[in-house]
Amino acid sequence: MKNIKEDEKLNVINHSCAHLLAHAVSNLYPQAKFWVGPVIEEGFYYDIDLSKEVIKEEDLSKIEREMKRIAKDGKKIIRREITKEEALKEFSNDPYKIDLINQMQDEVISCYNQGTFTDLCRGPHVETVKELKHFKLLKTSGAYWKGDSKNQMLQRIYGICFESAEDLESHLNLIEEAKKRDHRKLGKELELFMINDFAPGMPFFLPNGMIIRNILESFWYEEHIKEGYTFIKTPILLDKKLWEYSGHWDNYKENMYITNIDEAVFAVKPMNCPGGMLVYKNGLHSYKDMPIRSGELGLVHRHEASGALSGLFRVRQFTQDDAHIFMREDQVEDEIIRLINFIDRIYSVFGFDYRIELSTRPDDKFIGEIDVWNKSEKILEEICKKTGKEFKINPGDGAFYGPKLDFHIKDAIGRSWQCGTIQLDMNLTERFDLTYIDSDGTKKRPVMVHRVIFGSIERFFGILIEHFAGAFPLWLSSVQINVIPVNNQYHLEYAKSLKEELINHNMRVTIDDREEKLSYKIRESQTKKIPLTIVVGDKEKEEQTLTYRIYGQEKSYTTSISDFIYKVKENINNKSKKFD
């Protein structure tokens, strides 16, 4: 899928179409008041106050018809510049626009006219509404004004616009494909996980899901051992004083769960970093020990707004695949280059390409000296250039303790997901007074890197479900092989012996011995997205062979048991993405 926000031409088209939407709504709902209509990665939206009237999904076609009528009229979009005083007068009947105007520092304000409709905007826009032909309104939802639950609930209408009908149709097809891949839908159908009202935002993993989760975690440990990591486990509940010490209390308190124990205030950890630093501080370290690579699959909790919770993608409880690397300053470049190569290797196993964003110092909530921030940002920029990795600057989106490289993976249908991150921290080691003994016997301050690769086990699992559309590669599948006897009376014993043989080779196997039609059982095996379905009948029993079908294919293959086992084991050991 295209990132509309990053495509200059599509950005302009979609922003102009947001104004077209607002124009149509103002014609159909004269009482409407308008907040903002920005471009987002998936197109655009507009937040609107319709008083007591509610726009439902079925009303979108009516708004689309009005948008097409306005576009056909072909009015030019004309930019005007007015004073702040004139703007306040012109938009005096819309409190949301008045609020926007009052926040503006400029004395001259730009707005755009298209026929009878005028909106505040910096622009740019297309020249005429006639250029806005190929659009689609996608959905409607509620949205608090300014994102604050204490404010008025507005109605948000989402849409998308393209230059051609072909591009629009292609995009809508991708949206339909994305719906089929929805991890919430597939998670329920494949019995991978569940969400319950008794624990909102805190997923329950079911037996099938736990198999896959355990495989992911084992893979994570195996790859980190190769890279020289050791592992720790830190407490979930820690004293408020620690969070004040780390800076989280001042910069992240609103997202933390807090409780009282023995007349002291404790917080459930939203991040693993402070615990990791206490572990480092527990012992003495030499310059010869560096770098120290310390990994933790750490369970964290963050208080996300209830309206933002979404399956495994936005949760309140999750396991970060965390690591903290402590090093000498002269090791920073080599260590981060090694880490980028490590991330590259992990993502390639799942078939993910990625892009990198360099996120810099936040405008307000940050700790440390600006000179240190500038130095850290420069180091990350030079490393990206040295490794030949293209990157984009994402201003102001760094962690409060340091700049970071964010890794955005691309899935099978082209959607982008931010997963991995490398955060260069020269501040928290100062706060925690972390030291090592240098070659000259003096105490020195280590540099620390915080990093995740999956991001969180839960979210990465959700991405994998959608990436593979629930049809996991053989090495990841909760059930790898389903054995179906043609007739239980004659073939069940052979099917059971075959299942036992495969299990002895560490394969995950089920047997479908229900008294159902063969065609029904084969179809259900496909519905469950089991990678390999084996059918055994008279011929297979007599010749001690098996016939198997690969998920998604009609063709069947007959082979010896030993050849099949060899092929399956090779596929699993290589972590192949397909079974050929």
φ/ψ of 481, rounded to 5, equals -140, 135
Query: Which value, to the nearest 10 degrees, does the dihedral of the CA atoms of residues 25, 27, 30, 33 take?
Result: 40
Query: Which value, to the nearest 10 degrees, does the dihedral of the CA atoms of residues 7, 8, 14, 20 take?
Result: -170
Residue 472 placed within a domain: no
The secondary structure of residue 152, as a DSSP letter, is: P
Q: State pLDDT tens for residues 397-439.
A: 887 778 899 999 999 988 889 999 999 888 888 889 999 999 9
Q: What is the pLDDT of residue 136?
A: 97
Q: Is the pLDDT of residue 16 over 90?
A: yes
Same domain assignment for residues 62 and 168: yes
**Domain boundary residue among 130, 155, 178?**
178
| Residue 324 among the catalytic residues | yes
> Catalytic pick from 23, 301, 404, 521?
404
**Domain boundary residue among 116, 144, 178?**
178
Q: Indicate the range of 174-183, 303-312, 429-438 predicted with least confidence.
A: 303-312
Q: What is the pLDDT of residue 257?
A: 95
| Residue 119 among the catalytic residues | no
**Tokens 């300014």 found at:** 146
Q: What is the pLDDT of residue 580?
A: 85
**Domain boundary residue among 467, 490, 505?**
467
Which residue segment(s) compose the domain that 61 sits in? 8-178
Neighbours of 448 (CB within 10 A): 26
Q: What is the pLDDT of residue 108?
A: 83
| Residue 408 among the catalytic residues | no
| Res. 248 pLDDT band, cuts 50 70 90 | confident
Q: With beta carbons less than 8 A apart as the criterion, state whether 374 and 337 touch.
A: no
Q: State pLDDT tens for residues 121-158.
A: 988 999 999 999 999 999 999 888 888 878 889 999 99
Give the pairing type, strands 481-485 and 532-536. parallel
Same domain assignment for residues 327 and 248: yes
Residue 1 placed within a domain: no
Q: Which of 364, 376, 370, 371 is nearest to 405 (CA)?
A: 376
Q: State pLDDT tens for residues 314-336.
A: 999 999 999 999 999 999 999 99
Summarize the confidence of residues 562-574 as an average pLDDT.
97
| Res. 89 pLDDT band, cuts 50 70 90 | very high
Residue 334 placed within a domain: yes
Q: What is the CATH number of the domain that holds 85?
A: 3.30.980.10
Residue 88 placed within a domain: yes
For residue 559, the one-letter residue type is T
> Catalytic pick from 302, 415, 459, 549?
302
The residues that bridge with 201 in the sheet, in sequence order, are: none
| Residue 459 among the catalytic residues | no
Give the pairing type, strands 292-301 and 230-231. parallel
Q: What is the pLDDT of residue 342?
A: 97
Summarize the confidence of residues 195-213 as an average pLDDT.
97
> Catalytic pick from 171, 213, 328, 450?
450
| Residue 450 among the catalytic residues | yes
Q: Is the pLDDT of residue 15 over 80?
A: yes
Same domain assignment for residues 230 and 336: yes
Residue 473 placed within a domain: no
Complete edge-to-edge strand list for the sheet that includes strand 317-327: 230-231, 292-301, 317-327, 447-452, 416-425, 404-410, 353-359, 391-394
Q: What is the pLDDT of residue 400?
A: 79
Query: What pTM was estimated for this model as a whole?
Result: 0.87
Q: State pLDDT tens for residues 369-384.
A: 888 888 888 989 999 9
Give the span between the Cα atoms of 551 and 569, in whole angstroms.
17
Q: What is the pLDDT of residue 247?
A: 84
Q: Is the pLDDT of residue 367 over 80?
A: no
Q: What is the CATH number of the domain that holds 314?
A: 3.30.930.10
Residue 476 placed within a domain: no
> Catalytic pick from 47, 49, 321, 322?
322
Q: Is the pLDDT of residue 106 over 80?
A: no
Half-sphere exposure of 203 (CA within 13 A, CB side): 30
| Residue 273 among the catalytic residues | yes
In sequence order, what DSSP letters do the residues of 14-57 get, joined into one string?
HHHHHHHHHHHHHHH-TT-EE----EETTEEEEEEE-TT----G
| Residue 467 among the catalytic residues | no
Summarize the confidence of residues 487-506 as an average pLDDT.
96
> Catalytic pick from 114, 155, 320, 423?
320
Residue 516 placed within a domain: yes
Q: With beta carbons less than 8 A apart as the criterion, state whether 451 and 339 touch.
A: yes
Q: What is the CATH number of the domain that holds 543?
A: 3.40.50.800
Q: Which residues of 369-379 are buried (b: 16+ CB within 10 A; e: fewer)?
A: eeebbeebbeb
> Catalytic pick from 134, 156, 240, 324?
324
